[in-house]
Amino acid sequence: MRSRWGDAQRGSVTAEFAALLPAVLLLLGCCLGAVQVVGQQVRLADAAGSTARLLARGEGSGAAAGLVSGLGLNATLTVQHQGEFVCAQLRAVSAFGPFATVGLTFGARSCALAGGP
């Protein structure tokens, strides 16, 4: 014999799961997007360091631009000379869809002592 209480609760777990699932998926998407954004920033900072060292060794701006474009970051390169240092500044628009539509840009700057090995 069934009780009325059991019949009233039947299907409530399914309804709660259906209500919670979109929120969990949204949270998961935001976390994955944040990981992608941080990864892009790290790649950009690493590329800025490599580019600054390349320029400090005396390579031309063309070689530095080729390095940046070869990494597939879609970044713009700005070279600055500050005393004995050569600085490379990279700026790129976010590759993550929602942030790209807003126009979120990342930047990284690195300097190296000119005339190094």
Q: Which of 10-14, 73-77, 93-97, 98-102 has the lowest mean pLDDT?
A: 10-14
Closest CA to 92 of 76, 109, 69: 76
Which residues, other chains included, contact 76 with Cβ-Cβ below 8 Å and sequence gap of 6+?
Answer: 90, 91, 92
pTM of the model: 0.74
DSSP 59: -
pLDDT digits (tens, 9 = 90+) for 33-90: 889 889 989 999 999 999 999 999 988 888 888 888 888 778 889 999 999 999 999 9
